[in-house]
Amino acid sequence: MKNTDKQKSSFTIGVISDTHGLLRPEVFEALHHVERIIHAGDIGNENILKELETIAPVTAVRGNMDGDWAFKLKRTEALEISGNLIYVIHDLARLDLDPESSGADVVISGHSHRPSASKHNGVLYMNPGSAGPKRFSLPISVGLLHIHSKGIKPELIKLKG
């Protein structure tokens, strides 16, 4: 069963991952205009999702570091937004389907804390990086997915941190 949003000519999705219990003020600045938020796991606690819900509706998956509170969240989610199939999983290494043959347009993951967006065999793979505590020399970041009639454009946003 898929979550769906009404057909619109354009749609902006905020993409976030690996908050690990820390929701920086810069996240609100970066995502204030989005119509939906996808959290790709390692959330930290339920309050993070409640705070993100003040911006836009949230779809979240459970990460490997999320505790007992997160058992109500699925390991994967499939959403259809403006006719595009978006598959969400925390750890890309645990991908349990072939995105190309399943019709996925976008695969969103987290886990690595490394922001990236690249297309392979017609499927956009996006990792927004980590918006939580700084880890090594990796940037603090979130992402946006701009969906419009001409396609899907990913945007990675580096936050202060």
Q: Residue 4 above 80 pLDDT?
A: no
Which residues touch 116 (CB under 8 Å, ≥6 apart)? 125, 126, 127, 129, 156
Q: Which residues span the domain enclosing 57? A: 3-159
Question: Cβ of 17: how many Cβ atoms within 10 Å?
Answer: 33
Give the count of domains, the chain. Answer: 1
Q: What pTM was computed for the model? A: 0.93
% of the chain with per-residue pLDDT over 90? 89
Q: Residue 8 above 70 pLDDT?
A: no
Task: Indicate which CATH number applies to the domain containing 13.
Answer: 3.60.21.10
